[in-house]
Amino acid sequence: MPFFTVDGQALHYIDQGTGPAVLLAGSYLWDQAMWAPQIAALSPHYRVIALDLWGHGESGRLPEGTTSLDDIARQARSLIDHLDIDQVTLVGLSVGGMWGVRLALSAPQRINGLVLMDTYVGVEPEQTRQYYFSLFKQIEETGEISEQLLDIVVPIFFRPGIDPQSALYQDFRAKLAAYSSDRLRESIVPMGRITFGRDDLLSRLGELNAASTLVMCGDQDKPRPPSETKEMAELIGCPWVLVPEAGHISNLENPQFVTEVLLAFLADRR
């Protein structure tokens, strides 16, 4: 598994397949393995790169001085430079879309296409921002994601009707429960504050290339509801798609639908 050192820390990524480059940028609290169905389907035809956020998966801790999503976008751009890739189609889900838009705005010549999934680049609504920050404070103080907090946090990521005994649900819960106190305090909590304390980019969405942008959302996404997807698509002037029977991690709750949409989008970008 390859690593790239940027800002003094080792960023873990996978690089699979050959062809036009696709960069998969995932959700907060998930590592690059969340893209497994899409990596399997895309890598026979494309060069697929997927990275782990700081403190997630096998990546190192959040680097000192990394305080914003603009920093994350800059670090991802450094990875693209390191891999000697001129252009990528960026598929960003949740926080991956938040920093993905920043990369697209700062380096539009590097973006062949942009898919924004289950994400929102306006500010976090004040009520939910304060709520998430209160959860971060609890995690920071205790050094763990308690059973009580797991009961709150895990369901946020899935559609309401998911079987809580399913492997998808239980594996995610177990992964969160296993985080060490150091990793939580050094990376997970600060990365959460960066994500949910983000600034507002809605006024800049019109600068994106509407012809090469697509916005998608699970039809039952709770933290990033379809109304936000529709708002962003209208500001960009691009199409938007609802993923049926899916919550926030729409690519795993309905992988076949998402993969087919991505393959069609990528075929148009070749």
Instruction: Give pLDDT tens digits for 80-95.
Output: 999 999 999 999 999 9
pLDDT tens digits, 41-54: 999 999 999 999 99
Specify the number of domains making up the chain: 1
Least confident of 56-60, 135-139, 225-229, 266-270: 266-270
**Residue 179, in any domain of the structure:** no
pLDDT (mean) for 162-168? 97
**Residue 159, in any domain of the structure:** no
Rounded to two decimals, the pTM is 0.98
**Residue 86, in any domain of the structure:** yes
How far is Cα 109 from Cα 111, in angstroms, rounded to an integer?
6
**Residue 84, in any domain of the structure:** yes
Distant-in-sequence, close-in-space partners of 214: CB < 8 Å, separation ≥ 6: 113, 114, 115, 116, 238, 239, 240, 241, 261, 265
**Residue 158, in any domain of the structure:** no
Distant-in-sequence, close-in-space partners of 96: CB < 8 Å, separation ≥ 6: 24, 25, 26, 27, 117, 119
Pseudo-torsion of CA 95, 98, 99, 105, nearest 10°?
Answer: 170
The CA-to-CA distance between both ends of the chain, in Å, stands at 28
pLDDT (mean) for 178-192? 98
**Residue 105, in any domain of the structure:** yes
What pLDDT, on the 0 to 100 scale, is given for residue 234?
Answer: 99
**Residue 163, in any domain of the structure:** no
Distant-in-sequence, close-in-space partners of 184: CB < 8 Å, separation ≥ 6: 139, 140, 143, 144, 145
pLDDT tens digits, 108-127: 999 999 999 999 999 999 99
**Residue 249, in any domain of the structure:** yes
The domain containing residue 108 runs over which residues?
Answer: 3-122+200-269
Q: Is it the case that residue 1 has pLDDT exceeding 90? A: no
- The residues that bridge with 5 in the sheet, in sequence order, are 10
What pLDDT, on the 0 to 100 scale, is given for residue 270?
Answer: 85
CATH of the domain at 77: 3.40.50.1820
- Res. 264 pLDDT band, cuts 50 70 90: very high
